[in-house]
Structure 1
C-alpha cells in the first residue's frame, strides 16, 4: 500500500530503562557468566499530534545505564524538526553529530529514535510498521531457535530437544570457553538431533572476552563443517576482519557475523574483505531500519545472505521482524526462546508461530505497548544484564 501521510515532528524524547530480574535459582547461566536480569534500554518519542512510539538500543542489554545520557545529547537535534518520513531520522542525527557519534552504542540510540518514529507513524496511520517501511515482501518468514546457553552438554542438548519439539527446524547453541570442549559439545549435541534438523554453532566472538587464536577458530570450523552446520557464527573477535577472512578461506562452512557492528561501514569492510557468507545486522545495533536495509542491499550485491540478530526485549524482536518482512533479501529470522517476561509483556498480540516460522503481525506500529504499569512492573535494576565475566 502507498502511504502519503508519513510526515512527523518529534516534540519529546525520553530514555526508559527496564529490567526483568530473575528470581534466585532462575538466572540464565552460560560459559560467559550469569545473566542476573534481562535489561532493556528503550527510547520513547512523542509526535506533535501526541502519538508515541518506542525503539530500543540493543547494546542496552549489557550497558543500559549509558543510554539516557546519549538520548540527552541527541535530543536537541531532533526536537521540533520536521521530517517527511521516519526513515530520515537516524541519517539526520548521524549528519549533525558526525564529530562525536560515528558508530557503536551512539548509532544504536540514533536507530532507536528512528525505530520509535516508525512505530509512532504506524500507530498514527493504524497500519503495521512494515507498511511504513515499504510494505510486506512476505507474510511468513522461517525462524530458527536461538538460545543454547548452559554450562553442561546436557543443558544445551536438553534445550535443543525442547526447541525441536516446539516446531523449529534449526537450533543455534553457544560454544564453550575453549575449542576442545566446543568440539566435544558439537559431537554431543549433533548426535542427538533428529534427521532433517539443522544446527548453528555460535562461537560468541571466539568465545567472548578471551578470543581463540585464528588457527583454533579454524579447527572448530572444520568440525562444524564436518557435521554439516548451517553456518558457523562469529568465529573471531568483532573487529578482526582479517581473522574472519582467514577462517572463511580455510573452512567449508558458511561464516556469519557481526551482530554488534554499529554501522553500515563496519559490514562493508567485512564484505570487501570476502569475510562473510551471512551478514547479521541488528536494527537496534546498526543504526535503525534504514541502515539495516542498506546492509542487506550491500550483502545481496556480493552474494552474501542476511539474517538478523535478534536478542532483546519485545521492541528489538518487533523492530527486526517488521524490518525484515519489508525487505526482499531476508528469508530467515532469529527467535530467542530464552525466558524473558519483559519481552512478552510488551507485546499487544501473541507471536503467530506456524510451520517453523512467524506469520506477519497485524497490530499497528510495532505492536508494542509501553505503559506506566509495565514501567512499574519492570523497574531498572543496576548491576545485572548480560555482563560477560
Structure 2
C-alpha cells in the first residue's frame, strides 16, 4: 500500500526494550559529591511499524534503573500491537488511558513516553521529514543552549569545567551543589568570580532527589547567595514532592527558582506551578510521558506565567527528542546541553550536532536524527550494577 508523504497514521508491528551501557575505563569515571558514575546507561525502546520503519525513544530514568524498563515494555504490548493510530501523538494518551491503574508517573510514564517518541521518530523517518515537522514545524533555525555538567568533587574541578564551557562558546554554565549548604556557598564564592565578564551561572541544588534534603532555611540561605552573585536561576532547592517548600523558597528569594526534572506527569507540574513553586518549569520528554505531555507542561507554564526550559540528561535519543519538541514549541527558548563525556550521546546520533555561538542548530535529518545498529548494541552491551548510583560506597 502506498502511503502519502503527509500521512502520519501508523500501526506498530513490534517493539522491544534495548538496554545499553557505556562503561568508563578505570580512572575515567565521573566523580561528584553524589558518588562515582562508573557507566552511562540507557534504556531505549525500539518500535517497528508494519511497513518496516523503525523508531527510537528513551526512558530517562534508565540512567539509574534500566532493568525496570523491559518489564514495563512487555506490559504495554497488549495496548499497542495491532492497534491503528492516525498520528504518533495519539500514542501517549492511548496508553495512559489503558494503564492508568499502574502507570501514573515515574519510570512507567517515562517508558510510555519512550514508545510515543519512538513512534514519532518512525513516522517522521517514513515521511522523510524531521520530527519537529510532525510536531508542527520548527520556530527557528537555532536555540540558545546552556552548558550543564559541573559534577566535580572539588572547587578546582568545577571551575575548570566551567571555563572549558566558556571557551567552547557557551554563555551560561550550570554546576552542581556540594553536599552541604555551607560548602555550596563557598563553591559559589570560588567559581563565579573566576568566570569571564558576561557569563551567567546556574546553581543546581540537586535536592529534587536528595535522600536527606536541605531544610527550607538552608535552601533559602544558599539561594540568597545565588541572588547576590546574579544567578540566572536556582534549581531544585527542595525534594520533588514538596511544592509548598518550593513556594516558600521562591517567595523568599530575588532569584528565579526552577524544577522539577524528574516529574513524571503533567499533573505533577500543575500542582507545582499552581502552588507558585517555580519561575521555570523543567520537563523532560523522557520522564514526563512523551512529546505531547511535554507540550502540555509548556502550555501550562505559559498560561501561569512561568518559563519552560527542558531537562536533558541522557543518550543521543534523549537529547534529540527534547531538541525537536523544544524547536517546535513556542514557549521554549533555552535548551540544556550536557557536556559531560557520554559515548552513548555521540554513538546514537545520525546527524551532525552543531553548536554555533552558544546556540544549537535545529537538525533537518529525517526523524529524530538517531539510529541504533547491531554494531552499537555489540559495542555497548548492558552491564548491570553501574549507571548513576547515588551515594554508593566507593568500592561498588
TM range (shorter): over 0.9
2:97 equivalent to 1:95: yes
- Tell me which residue corresponds to 1:280: 282
| Residue number in structure 2 paired with 1:106 | 108
Point out the more displaced range, 345-354 or 311-320. Answer: 345-354
Could you report, residue by residue, the CA deviation over 1:346-385 in whole angstroms, capped at 9, with x for unpaired residues?
A: 1112211101011111211011010000000000010000
Query: In the TM superposition, what are the counterparts of 1:259-278 in structure 2 within 5 Å?
Result: 259-278=261-280
Counterpart contact for 1:209–1:388, Cα < 8 Å: no
Distance in 1 between residues matched to 2:292 and 2:131, nearest whole Å: 13
1:342-353 equivalences under 5 Å are 342-353=344-355
What is the aligned residue count?
A: 388
1:209 aligns with 2:211: yes
The answer as to whether partners of 1:190 and 1:227 remain within 8 angstroms in 2 is yes
Alpha-carbon distance in 1 for matches of 2:231, 2:252: 15
- Within-5 A mapping of 1:133-148: 133-148=135-150
- CA deviation map 1:55-95 (0-9, x unaligned): 00000000000000000001110001000000000110000
Tell me the distance in 2 between the aligned counterparts of 1:106 and 1:139: 33
Partner of 2:260: 258
The residue aligned with 1:245 is 247
SS at match of 1:204: coil
Shift of 1:101: 1.2
Matched residue, 1:170? 172
Contact 1:175 1:207 in 2 (8 A): no
Name the CA distance, whole Å, in 1 between partners of 2:104 and 2:174: 31
Q: 1:231 to 1:71 in 2, by over 3 A?
A: same
Aligned: 1:47 with 2:49 = yes
Aligned to 1:341: 343
Q: Which runs of 5+ in 1 are unaligned?
A: none
Which residue matches 1:189? 191
State whether residues 176 and 207 of structure 1, in contact with CA within 8 Å, keep that contact through their aligned partners in structure 2: no
Structure 2 Cα separation of the partners of residues 208 and 191 of structure 1: 28
Q: String of CA shifts for 1:324-351, please: whole Å, max 9, x gaps.
A: 0000000000000000111101111221
- Structure 2 equivalent of residue 5 of structure 1: 7
Bigger shift: 68-77 or 131-140? 131-140
Is 1:308 the equivalent of 2:297?
Answer: no
1:205 is paired with a residue whose SS is coil
How far apart are the structure 2 equivalents of 1:294 and 1:18?
30
1:83 corresponding residue in structure 2: 85
The structural deviation recorded for 1:206 is 6.2
CA drift of 1:203 comes to: 0.3
Kindly indicate whether residue 380 of structure 2 is the aligned counterpart of residue 378 of structure 1.
yes
- Could you report, residue by residue, the CA deviation over 1:102-155 in whole angstroms, capped at 9, with x for unpaired residues? 111111011000000000001100000000111111211000000001110000
Distance 2:163 2:285 in 1: 29
The alignment status of 1:160 with 2:166, answered yes or no, reads no
Distance 2:351 2:136 in 1: 22
- Residue 223 of structure 1: aligned partner: 225
CA distance in 2, matches of 1:56, 1:162: 29
Q: RMSD in angstroms over aligned alpha carbons?
A: 1.0
In structure 2, the partner of 1:331 is 333
The alpha-carbon deviation at position 3 of structure 1 amounts to: 6.9
Q: How does 1:7-26 map to 2 (within 5 A)?
A: 7-26=9-28
Structure 2 unmatched runs, 5+: 392-396
CA displacement at 1:4 relative to structure 2: 3.1
1:145 counterpart SS class = strand
- Helix, strand or coil for the counterpart of 1:347? coil
Aligned partner of 1:368 in structure 2 is 370
Q: Deviations over 1:187-206 (max 9, x none)?
A: 00001011100000000116
Is the 8 Å Cα contact of residues 177 and 206 (structure 2) preserved in structure 1? yes
